[in-house]
A and B are shown apart, each in its own frame.
Chain A
Amino acid sequence: MFRFLMKGMLRDRHRSLLPSIVVAMGVMLTVFMFTYMKGIFDDFFNNAAMYESGHVKITSRAYYEEKDVVPNDLALEDGPGMMEMLRSEYPQLKWSERVKFGGLLDAFDENRETRAQVGAGGVGIDFFGADTAERNRWNLGAGLQEGTLPQKPGDIVMGVTLADQMDLNAGDDVTLISSTVNGSMVLNNFHISGIIYFGTPPMDKKMFLADINDVKAMLDMGDWSSEILGYTNTSNYDDLVASALTAEFNAARSDSADRFSPLMTPMLDDAGLREYFGYASKAGSIMSFIMIFAMGIVLWNTGLMGAIRRYGEMGLRLAVGESKGHVYRSLIIESLGVALMGTIVGTIFGLGFSYWLQEVGFNIGDMMGDSEMLMPTIIRARITVPAFYIGFFPGVFATLLGAGLSGLRIFKRDTASLFKELET
């Protein structure tokens, strides 16, 4: 019977082509939107993890309380001891120290007189450690626009917009005016080894990276550590893993009565993204629901149109003795065929467009203007396993729903008046 129905459908293009196109379009849109949203959310959370919070972060309790003002004077003591302990007790994570700081960057002329000053934010990262992963984590090689990455102590790399703003190039020297952890004003000269395109407007505009040992010496931090970031081996943040690790670490090593004891915080809490993350993880379900709902209405309408168009055919089939249930079932089976065909085609096209957006990306830098959000300027989709099957939910269910609802009219036909209707 299925083969018979399919043959009929293929020969009558009005019964197969239009509904299949509608289903394919809807599924394609669903798949594309799903991968697009996944890409945006993943980039957003990965940016927060890479540049800001790690998957977990360890600071002193006092530092965490005032973290918005980057209180380096409240940093953890004996940073090297803490790093050693973390590497031996928690080897499943990669640990990196960071120091954030701010100040005025002062560009000077040949007489060493100020010619430009701009407020900037710096991050001290481990450029020269034997097992450092920071260069790759910050993707510095790919973003290098001019010069080289730091080769020796005293070298820094600077955001491309910041360098433009101050008319600085790789090879120039610049003075940073900042404050030590004791509050003393400090002037420190750095050598700009390279100009970096970070790909995130606020970072390109205001940020520079220096070696963490230079920064600690400049800020008079000794062996203190402001922030220690931990990264799991998974590419994306896993809240269950991060939260379990946090609970274990804090129970064993943090003392709420001691402001300078270490405190571990999962990324979502450190970056204040927990609510947003909840929304993002439901994005796939929300997208599917919206598409099922919207397509349900569209396909219901398509089904109704089809039923009206096939009003005579249905009547004739009932008149020659076919049962209403049989007609209804055949309608459902036909729609299943249409749904599968449309869904497969839609998924293929949806994945195709997604792949293009994933590999090529779409540059929205001009649209972001002076945005302060840590968002990449190139939007990319991300194809994950669910993208291969997510289209089947709206594609199949909505089509069946539409056909099922419109087909209910079959049961309302009055058999006694069928011949009367067919006379016309």
Chain B
Amino acid sequence: MRNLLPYLFLGAMPAMLMAQPDAAEILRKIDKQMVTESAEATATMVITNRRGRETRITSRSWSKGETTSLVEYLSPAREKGVKMLRLEDVLWMYTPQADRVIQISGHMLRQSVSGSDLSYEDMVDNGKLLDLYDAAVVGEEVFMDRSCYVLRLRVKEGIEDVAYAQRKVWVDKTRYLPLKEERYAKNGTTLLKNFEIRSVMKIADRWYPKEMFFKDVMAKGQGTLYIIEDIKFGVDIPEYMFTKAALRE
């Protein structure tokens, strides 16, 4: 019997290899769910500050491809009319009170948006994980009653301009949504942000997050809930909307 053990183990190897999913394939499936060609959405950010007070900011956003997007705040009154436009790697912000268009660049991109746990980078991020990261499956776990692959993502060689150099991602095995993420700095040990998908919705044949929770580990607030009120994919958005001149309109 003892002599059979090695053979039994070797016999099981192909089955084990078959069960091990391809990390790049998982990233491709995540990108298919999360990255949109064009979309129009209304969302509400619920921000709880360190005094325990809640602020709700509602915005409407339009995106085209991975690097063009526009966000306009609808409420509260104080924030109404504030717009953020991303064109390639440049982010512009317009506030009607000052009637100024200001470029947000460098370290300012990492600042909090409206006191939330999202940075400007997070806000306009629509890039494909597959283009930015090398991935490896490091385990399998159950998270929020969903069976997940656990992936370790490391930024690809030569890519510098990325907000999080490493990520640990819990990916729903059937819906291919990143249900939980730990986002790390370059050293791989400094945790910068936690992210969770709290609820999901199905639009046509696509699963998409409905409620997402962000927690900036460095910030002293109690986290930010990002709720997508409605979203339409594949919408036709006029080009002029993504121009600096249109910000003042």
| Cβ contact within 8 Å between B97 and A188 | yes
Does chain A have a CB within 8 A of B67? Answer: no
**Distance in angstroms between the alpha carbons of A220 and B49 in the assembled complex:** 14
Does chain B have a CB within 8 A of A211? Answer: no
Q: What's the minimum C-beta distance from B152 to chain A, rounded to whole angstroms?
A: 31
Q: What's the minimum C-beta distance from B73 to chain A, rounded to whole angstroms?
A: 9
| Cβ contact within 8 Å between B102 and A188 | no
Q: What's the minimum C-beta distance from B64 to chain A, rounded to whole angstroms?
A: 24
Does chain A have a CB within 8 A of B78? Answer: yes
Classify chain A: how many residues form its interface, as a range. Answer: 20 to 34
| Cβ contact within 8 Å between B98 and A189 | yes
A182 touching B100 in the complex, CB below 8 Å, given contacts A73-B51, A187-B95, A220-B78:
no
| Cβ contact within 8 Å between B100 and A185 | no
Does chain B have a CB within 8 A of A184? Answer: yes
Q: What's the minimum C-beta distance from A214 to chain B, rounded to whole angstroms?
A: 12
Mask of B168-199 contacts with A, CB within 8 angstroms, 1/0: 00000000000000000000000000000000
A184 touching B114 in the complex, CB below 8 Å, given contacts A73-B49, A73-B50, A73-B51:
yes
Q: What's the minimum C-beta distance from A59 to chain B, rounded to whole angstroms?
A: 15
* Chain B binding surface SS class: loop
Minimum CB distance partner of B244 in chain A:
A113
Instruction: Give the size of the chain B interface in residues (CB under 8 angstroms).
Output: 23
Q: Which of B51, B103, B113 contacts A114 (CB 8 A)?
A: B103
A106 partner residues in chain B, CB cutoff 8 A: 100, 102
Q: What's the minimum C-beta distance from B244 to chain A, rounded to whole angstroms?
A: 10
Mask of A158-196 contacts with B, CB within 8 angstroms, 1/0: 000000000000000001010110111111110000000
Q: What's the minimum C-beta distance from A179 to chain B, rounded to whole angstroms?
A: 8
Q: What's the minimum C-beta distance from B209 to chain A, rounded to whole angstroms?
A: 23
B111 partner residues in chain A, CB cutoff 8 A: 179, 185
A183 touching B100 in the complex, CB below 8 Å, given contacts A73-B49, A73-B51, A220-B78:
no
B49 partner residues in chain A, CB cutoff 8 A: 73, 182-183
**Distance in angstroms between the alpha carbons of A188 and B82 in the assembled complex:** 13
Does chain A have a CB within 8 A of B205? Answer: no
B101 partner residues in chain A, CB cutoff 8 A: 112-113
| Cβ contact within 8 Å between A187 and B102 | yes
Query: 5 tightest A-B contacts by CB?
Result: A183-B115, A187-B98, A184-B114, A182-B115, A187-B95
Known contacts A113-B101, A189-B97; can you find 9 more A-B pairs with CB under 8 A? A106-B100, A106-B102, A175-B102, A179-B112, A182-B47, A182-B115, A185-B114, A188-B98, A189-B99
